[in-house]
Structure 1
């Protein structure tokens, strides 16, 4: 009698979405499609259009990759419409490769919790806290972790009295400052402001992406990143070697959207970062503490500033960072000895061994 081979674990890759990071999400999905072990996993690509329609998307990485002059987009003609994930058949685990609001912020995580479906990455609360830079900083500070000076600009405050907001920024922060949407990523809507004259326009630019805005005092130092991975079978949280994105400041003021995704010459990545051993260990320790402070699960990337004297300040945490083979998250783990394909498998296994429901 011929034995029936065991069924492969079915993984739904969910990507696209309603946020401004739609194209980056598609590119992330392309990287995972290419790398995932097809002998172990049955892949189900599910795209979400900018309007929120779910479709059964082509399993074609080339279609979803970033290309010169073209940003990939999930549209309704990409495949059959899905009224629910269940229409596509049984799913063992969801890999929500969504960046920004309506995906990385706890919304899809809540949907999957309600459905009792396992998924990769942070839960509802950790995703929501990690998405909102205001509450993220409050949680970090509440755990005694170092954060830089900032001012939150709430929608009503700006709409009712913008001059009072400007006065508050001037009183509480030193220029230059960075003005950014409170709940966005990929450097969308971020402006470096050198003096008071550019502040109002920068706030309006950020408000085009999110009505809630954060103004952060620019910190002197190097921007260093560290990749975090949850522990297996109750083991300790793991941190990669730190990495650094070195920006050509003659070509770009800072690591903006174009430097990240559209230019080959404005920045380069280095992993491991050239840091003294004690500073590197401080970065790794703070990355783990930040991950655990928000209740992280699965993966996160923690971004910090390292001052010339070696002092380290946390900038932010990303609970679903860019995840292509050339993204800093995967490159830092590769430099730590974990190849991209193995990293994808590790994240899926972490999700599979995690119980559904309250934990």
Structure 2
């Protein structure tokens, strides 16, 4: 088959996407298919030209949109591909759009009884009106330390930890540069556990063994530096979990996938407090996909190689049409 692999994009995760795309291209070639790398530059333009890109995409059997963040993981590229009637890997327009929007994700999950990180969303005048922002934060019962993050995006870009009013205001201003919605959330003290969800060609939805994150202790939290530039960050998979907790996380991850209407793949990230119930932090509908990323690491622990995971994604997309 001819497989288009789209990578890059205009989001802050441009370089991460290029790394994911290169890994996928190699796997596609190992599987015996023809890989067609397609790059969207940092300004959001197709490097091959838009008309040429359309011709290439329509000549391919399947497209893998290996984009992270705004412009690629938010439903826009998915809508473009659907207009071209091109089969593609992963979630559709609605699930992609909701999945990237942290506020909408948590609103939907909360409405379905799925516990999420406690927090509020600031928008409009609240981003610059200190009194209005503080009233909203206090009304939600939130106290320092707090985490502040853009409403859309990933890889911890624009995420800050605030310990007092000056750092909170600075964090809100930094996050507002990246998105008109800013989430302010309670710091969750406990374990960080990820679950990889994969859809198979026959419609089965399964999870791999859970992964636990041990961030670089020299970083303030699991930020972009700890994720991509630190040798001190450790990923433990399978995570040491008692059977009851492991099953609860597995079931919740699948519930999140199904409630949001996801397809193909997703990574669901949890906080597990030592004195409370697990809460969903976020979902990534196209998670980091380098050979060293969490998603393929978890499936490797389940016995599926990187290439076999890519093969599953392709065959599932073909089966779905």
TM-score after normalising by structure 1: 0.86
Measured in 2, the distance between the counterparts of 1:286 and 1:220 equals 20
Displaced runs of 4+ in structure 1, greater than 3 A? none
Greater relative contact order structure (CA < 8 Å, 6+ sep): 2
SS in structure 2 of the partner of residue 109 of structure 1:
helix
Post-superposition shift, 1:329?
A: 0.4
1:41 to 30, 33, 41: 33
Q: CA deviation at 1:342?
A: 0.3
**Do 1:279 and 1:310's aligned partners in 2 also have CA atoms closer than 8 Å?**
no
Among 81, 87, 101, the residue aligned to 1:112:
81
Counterpart selection for 1:272 from 238, 244, 250? 238
Question: Cα deviations across residues 29-84 of structure 1 (Å, max 9, x unaligned)?
Answer: 1111222244531110000011122124xxxxxxxxxxxxxxxxxxxxxxxx3424
SS of equivalent residue, structure 1 residue 317: strand
Secondary structure of the structure 1 residue equivalent to 2:300: helix
Listed as ranges, the gaps of 5+ residues in structure 2 are none
Q: Which residue of 1 aligns with 2:290?
A: 324
Alpha-carbon offset, residue 104 of structure 1 = 0.2
Q: What is the rounded CA distance, in whole Å, between the counterparts of 2:117 and 2:46 in structure 1? A: 39
Partner of 2:118: 149
The alpha carbon displacement at 1:196 in A equals 2.4
CA shift, 1:85, in A, is: 2.3
Aligned-residue offset at 1:306: 1.1
The CA deviation string for residues 146-204 of structure 1, in whole angstroms up to 9 with x for no partner, is: 11211101134324x33211232133212211000010100000001112231110001
Separation in structure 1 between the aligned mates of residue 167 and residue 205 of structure 2, nearest angstrom: 42
CA distance in 2: counterparts of 1:257 and 1:179, whole angstroms: 14
Counterparts of 2:79 and 2:117, CA distance in 1: 31
CA gap 1:39/1:137 in 2 versus in 1, 3 angstroms: closer
- 1:354 maps onto 2:320 in alignment: yes
CA distance in 2, matches of 1:90, 1:156: 47
TM-score by length of 2: 0.96
Residue-by-residue CA offset, 1:222-261 (whole Å, 9 max, x unaligned)? 0100000013223x31111110110132x11111001111
Aligned to 2:132: 164
